[in-house]
Amino acid sequence: TQTLLEVKGLKTEFKRDGSSVLAVAGVDFHINKGEVLGLVGESGCGKSVTSLSIMRLLKDTPGRISGGSVSFEGKDLVQMSEKEMRRYRGNELAMIFQEPMTSLNPVLRIGKQLEESIMLHLSYSRKKARQHAIDSLKLVGIPRADEVVDDYPHQLSGGMRQRVMIAMAMSCNPKLLIADEPTTALDVTIQAQILDLMNRLKTEQEMGMLLITHDLGVVAEMCDRVVVMYAGRVVEEATVEELFENPQHPYTKGLISSVPKLRQKVRRLESIPGNVPDLRNMPKGCKFAPRCPYVMEQCLSQEPELLPVAHDEQRKSRCWLTQEGHSKGGETA
Ligand code: SF4
Ligand code: MG
């Protein structure tokens, strides 16, 4: 396996009312070629800010990257000029959002928008770009693609618009697709179709994918590995099977306690009592301590690091309970 993307110590800071908070507080993970990495956690945990930081799309927000690196095939995206970054965006890296209406231009025909993007990124002629636009619409299963290409976004259903967004993202054959809650706004049937489609495209195009979701059903269906975020930090990393069968971090345990089997249909992350901590007023030690059923003295004063779980280098958790030494050390709750 080859590493496609490596995020190291990523920090993103937001200025609010004169003070600054870390929405992403030193995040580490990697994505291999042809792999789907799930990024899960409750809303406000920093998932979306992480993805916007990778894409360097923070400029419409009060946020800025304040540390770390994002290495894409060995090149650090954080250090790139905006001009260079523009060449990567939409070309090597593409992103789809939850609500396609906000990313499609309402006054431009679908085909026109696809063509512009294709001409910009693949340097095709207008004629060749139009054919490629129609082919891209067909690829994502849009019926009568040669007619839809001349429609305006409002003429399509939500599911069709999301397909257009995927077509647009896929039309330049990106090596990495970042999908932020790509199916949340859609009804269950359409959602299943879109996920099937993304799965198929991933396999056919050997693309890496960062899938951001709070839906564990989507994680189970789509992901190879999973990174769990809490309060701007990674708290657990595991393969999808291990995550569901043997979660390590108490937060992850809480998330999946209502999902007894991998492919069963119970799935929102609302089951853990308490709230995500206020970024301006973070607990001193472990950020999950106020909600953790296993909290110990030590947790209140010292924050654990994200470290391999005993005897397994691939498995990581940010919890005193799962870290080597603790169980041997004999400290008890
Ligand atoms: Fe709970 Fe302590 Fe582990 Fe934090 S470090 S998750 S408070 S047991
Ligand atoms: Mg979000």
What is the DSSP track for 89-101? BTTTEEEE-S-HH
Residue appearing with tokens 């654990």: 304
Q: Is the pLDDT assigned to residue 100 strictly greater than 80?
A: no
Tell me if 194 sits within 8 A of 166, measured CB to CB: yes
pLDDT of residue 267: 47
More confident site: 310 or 321? 321
As a whole number of angstroms, the distance between CA 126 and CA 139 comes to: 20
DSSP 304: P
The residue whose CA is least distant from atom 5 of ligand 1 is 319
Ligand 1: which of 299, 322, 324 to mutate, most ligand atoms within 8 Å of CB? 299
Mean pLDDT of 263-283: 67
How much is the ipTM here? Answer: 0.95
Closest CA to 85 of 99, 70, 97: 70
Distance in Å, CA 24 to ligand 2 centroid: 13
**255, pLDDT greater than 50:** yes
List the domain boundaries for the chain.
3-92+174-329, 105-166
Residue of 36, 157, 42, 177 whose CA lies nearest to 100? 157
**3-92+174-329 adopts what CATH topology?**
Rossmann fold (3.40.50)
Q: How confident is the model at residue 259 (pLDDT cuts 50, 70, 90)?
A: low
The pLDDT of residue 134 is above 90: yes
- Residue ranges around ligand 1 (CB below 6 Å): 250, 286, 288-289, 292, 294-296, 299, 304, 319-321
- Which range is least confidently modeled, 67-76, 120-129, 155-164, 187-196? 187-196
DSSP state of 331: -
Q: How many residues does the chain have?
A: 333
Q: Is the pLDDT of residue 225 over 80?
A: yes
